[in-house]
Amino acid sequence: MSVGNSSAATSANLNKDNVLTSSDRVDIDRRFQEEALVTGINSSPGDLTRGVKKNGTTGGSRVEIGRLVVSPPAPSAFTEFFRAIQKWEGKVIRLADDTFTATLSPIVGDPTELEAEMYVEDVTPDERHFIEPGAVFYWSIGYLERPSGRIRESVLRFRRLPVWTKDDISKNSGDLSALFEE
Amino acid sequence: MPYLRSSSGTVLSAPNHNEVEVSIFGPGYGEAIALHVECGKWILVDSCLEPTSGQPAQVQYLEQLGLDVSTAVKLVVATHWHDDHVQGIGTLVARCRSADVVMSAALKSEHFSALLRLYGEGAFPGSSGVTEFVNVLRLLDERRQAGTKINMAKLAVPDKLLYRDSILDHDQSYDVEIHSLSPSDASIVSAQLDFSQRIPLSGERKKRIVPPHTNATSVVLWVEIGERRLLLGSDLEKTADPKTGWTVILNDSQVTREKAFVYKVAHHGSESSHDPGVWERLLHEQPYALLSPYMIGGNILPKDGDIDRLARLTPNAYMTATPGGRRFRMSNRVVRDTVESVAKEIRGIRAGWGQVRLRCGIQNDALCHVELFGDAHNIAAS
| Amino acid residing at B154 | K
Query: Does residue A182 form part of some domain?
Result: no
**Cα dihedral B52→B54→B55→B61 (10° resolution):** 20
Window B:98-117, CB contacts with A under 8 Å: 103, 107-108, 110, 113-114, 116-117
pLDDT of residue A173: 57
CA atoms within 13 A on the CB side of B115: 29
B68 touches chain A (CB under 8 A): no
Contacts of A152 in chain B (CB under 8 A): 334, 338
Tell if the CB–CB gap between A162 and B206 is shorter than 8 Å.
yes
Please indicate whether, in this complex, the C-beta atoms of A3 and B118 are within 8 angstroms of each other. no
Q: Do B346 and A117 touch (CB under 8 A)?
A: yes
- Fill in the amino acid letter for A42: N
Radius of gyration of chain A (CA): 19
Chain A residues touching B295 at Cβ < 8 A: 115
Q: Give pLDDT, residue A172.
A: 62
Least Cα distance to A11 among A153, A135, A168, A151 occurs for A153
Which CATH number covers residue B126? 3.60.15.10
Contacts of B207 in chain A (CB under 8 A): 132-136, 161
Structural domains of chain B, count: 1
The CA distance from A99 to A21, in Å, is: 29
Long-range contacts of A49-52 (CB under 8 A, 24+ apart): A49/A25, A50/A26, A51/A17, A51/A18, A51/A19, A51/A20, A52/A19, A52/A20, A52/A24, A52/A25, A52/A26
Interface test with A, best of B161, B199, B334 (most A CBs within 10 A): B334
A175 and chain B: CB distance < 8 Å anywhere?
yes
Could you tell me the CA-to-CA distances from B278 to B220, B250, B254 in Å, in that order?
12, 7, 15
From the number of C-beta atoms within 10 Å of its C-beta (0-12, 13-18, 19+), residue B358 rates as buried
Q: What is the pLDDT of residue A175?
A: 66
Tell me which residue of B115, B111, B48 sits closest to B79, measured CA to CA: B48
Query: Nearest CA of chain A to the CA of B362: how many Å?
Result: 32
A170 at interface of B, judged by CB pairs closer than 8 A:
no
In chain A, the residue whose alpha carbon lies closest to the alpha carbon of B101 is A180
Most B CBs within 10 Å, among A6, A85, A114, to test the B interface:
A114
Nearest of B246, B252, B245, B253 to residue B229 by alpha carbon: B253
Q: What range does the domain containing B296 cover?
A: 2-378
Closest chain A residue by Cα to residue B138: A179
- The angle subtended at Cα A146 by Cα A140 and Cα A149, nearest 5°, is 100
Residue type, B189: V
- Give me the residue from B201, B330, B349 closest to A164, CB to CB: B201
Q: Which residues of A touch B346 (CB under 8 A)?
A: 104, 114-117
Residue A171 lies in a domain: no
Residue B328 and residue A59: Cα distance in Å, rounded?
46
Q: Which residues 299-318 of B have a C-beta within 8 angstroms of A?
A: none
From chain A, the residues in CB contact with B349 under 8 A are: 103, 113-115
Give the per-residue pLDDT at A177.
80
> Using CA atoms, how far apart are residues B354 and B236, in angstroms rounded to an integer?
23
B218 closest CA partner among B105, B298, B115: B105
Contact B297 A101 (CB under 8 A): yes
Q: Which member of A1, A134, A173 has the closest CB to residue B342?
A: A1
In a domain, residue A122? The reply is: yes
Half-sphere exposure of B340 (CA within 13 A, CB side): 11
- Going by C-alpha positions, the residue among A11, A46, A20, A24 that lies closest to residue A125 is A11
Asked if residue B298 lies in contact with residue B260, where contact means CB atoms within 8 angstroms, the answer is no
Q: End-to-end CA distance of chain A: give it in Å, rounded.
A: 54
What are the residues facing A99 on neighbouring strands? A119
Q: Contact, A67 vs A18, CB < 8 A?
A: yes
Give the minimum alpha-carbon distance from B374 to chain A in angstroms, rounded to a whole number: 18
Domain count, chain A: 1
Burial B148-173 (b: 16+ CB within 10 A, else e): eebbbbbbbbbebebbeeebeeeeee
A5-24 in b/e burial notation, b at 16+ Cβ within 10 A? ebeebbbeebeeeeebebeb
Query: Is A61 near chain B, with CB under 8 Å?
Result: no
Contact B113, A176 (CB under 8 A): yes
- Tell me whether residues B153 and A180 touch, CB distance under 8 A: yes
Ramachandran sector of residue B332 (left: φ over 0; alpha: ψ -120 to 50; beta: rest)? beta
Chain mean position to CA B189: 23
Question: Does residue A96 sit at the B interface (CB-CB below 8 Å)?
Answer: no
Q: Are A155 and A2 in contact (CB under 8 A)?
A: yes
Any chain A CB within 8 A of the CB of B118? yes
Q: Which helix (H) or strand (E) holds B318?
A: strand B317-319
Rounded Cα gap, residues B213 and B226, in angstroms: 36
The string of DSSP codes covering B28-79 is SS--EEEEEEETTEEEEESB-B-TTT-SBHHHHHHHHTT--HHHHEEEEEE-
Enumerate the H helices of chain B as residue ranges: 57-64, 69-72, 83-86, 89-95, 110-119, 130-145, 185-197, 246-252, 276-277, 304-313, 333-342
Q: Do B338 and A152 touch (CB under 8 A)?
A: yes
Nearest CA in chain A to B201: A164
Cα–Cα distance measured from residue B324 to residue B306, given in angstroms and rounded to the nearest whole number: 13
C-alpha distances in Å from residue B304, one per residue of B30, B61, B136, B281, B354? 20, 30, 37, 25, 19
pTM of the model: 0.81
Q: Which pLDDT tens digits describe chain B residue by residue (382 residues)?
A: 434 555 555 557 899 988 999 999 997 578 999 999 989 999 999 999 988 888 999 999 999 999 999 999 999 999 999 888 999 999 999 999 999 999 999 999 988 998 888 888 655 544 668 889 999 999 999 998 898 887 899 999 999 999 999 988 777 789 999 999 999 999 999 999 999 999 889 998 888 888 888 899 999 999 999 999 999 999 999 988 999 999 999 999 999 989 999 999 999 999 999 999 999 999 999 999 999 998 877 788 999 999 999 999 999 999 999 887 556 678 899 999 999 899 998 887 766 789 999 999 998 888 899 999 999 999 988 7
Complex ipTM value = 0.79
CA B40 to chain centre: 20
- Cβ-proximal residues to B272 (8 Å cutoff; 6+ apart), any chain: B237, B238
Residue ranges making up the domain that contains A57? 10-161
HSE on the CB side for B39, CA within 13 Å?
12
Q: Do B346 and A165 touch (CB under 8 A)?
A: no
Low-confidence ranges of chain A (pLDDT < 50): 1-66
Chain A residue with CA closest to B106: the answer is A180
